[in-house]
Amino acid sequence: MKKIQTILAAPKALLGMALLGLLLTGCNEDNPSLGSLPNADFTTNASPSNPNSINLKNTSSSVGVAYWEVPALNLGSSDLKGDNVTVNFTFAGTYQVKMMLAAQGGITTVTKTVTIAQNDPNACNGTVIGFLTGCGTKTWKLNPAPNAMWVSQWAGGDGSWWASGAQEVIDRPCMFNDEYKFTFNAGGDFVFDDKGDFYSDGYLGNSPGYTCQPSSNYTAAQAPWGSGNFNFIVIPTGGHYGLGQIKLLGLGAHIGIQKAINDNETPNGATATSITYDVKSMQHVTDPAGDYDLLTVTMHYGSWSSTEGWWTFTLRSY
């Protein structure tokens, strides 16, 4: 395994905040020195039961906060933090894994190579990615039933401020026809197809409002919300419920309401290059309408609070 130690010249905001706290703790008028860079190291060990599941363990001799990145999987420091993290490598290949240790003396980066010999034979068995993709390509739409969309005080629709009902299914056909296609492959292909139209909700500012309009009526800033080819990753055990997270990658990629992004809303146009949704539930349903799956995801948008303000969406498979 290759090990590279470097100083980050322009640390990301998350690392910068962690480092600032350490610096404020360790620096004083009598001793203005920040000290030496931390000594950083980590180990990579495969699970005895699954060689595609790799435990990353911070073994640094210096005390600090460990952040991790796996660029090939689009996993960054906002996704992986702590002395022990587990990453599932679904597909065979060679991957660079980076640990950034933020400590009193600064930030040290260590990079190692992880080699995965084979595709994970159990990747689709009872997993989020298996449910999401069907181990192939799976198409989803907003569930055409009440409570397809909630906005609420708490996660998952609890303390609901508004929820869609049967009338919204009738009034907003241009939302309920949107297709979300997820493909099981190394690239994590995600295709959004808005079928050439969108619902001009009041917050969008399009005229006329509260009706279906052709996607060509999006403003230039809103246009990335239309049909497009994007990517996704699954973070297996993260999220509010511990069931995993689905992270959409690409400007404009979204589920449900366009304006909702992590920790904010952007009604004037697409600004986020990724949005992470927490999995709330995965259900298989058999009823007179047939056999299908229901996936409920929730995401925090409240810029005023770290715990309040959530959008929740239920998708149905087709």
Q: Which residues of the chain have pLDDT under 50?
A: 1-14, 17, 19-20, 23-25
Exposed, middle or buried, 183 (CB in 10 Å: 0-12/13-18/19+)? middle
Q: What count of other Cβ atoms lies within 10 Å of the Cβ of residue 161?
A: 11
Kindly report the average pLDDT of the chain as a whole number. 91
Largest CA distance in the chain: 76
Nearest-angstrom CA–CA distance, 192 and 140:
10
User: What are the angstrom distances between the C-alpha of 144 and each of 75, 197, 198, 315?
Assistant: 33, 17, 16, 9
Residue 73 tokens, joined: 């999987």
Q: Are strands 189-193 and 197-199 parallel, antiparallel or unpaired?
A: unpaired
46: helix, coil or strand? strand
Nearest-angstrom CA–CA distance, 105 and 31:
13
pLDDT single digits (tens) 230-254:
999 999 888 999 999 999 999 999 9
pLDDT at position 271 is 97
pLDDT at position 32 is 54
Nearest-angstrom CA–CA distance, 252 and 271:
7
In the chain, the domains with their CATH numbers are 5-116 (2.60.40.10), 128-317 (no CATH)
Residue 28 tokens, joined: 């004083």
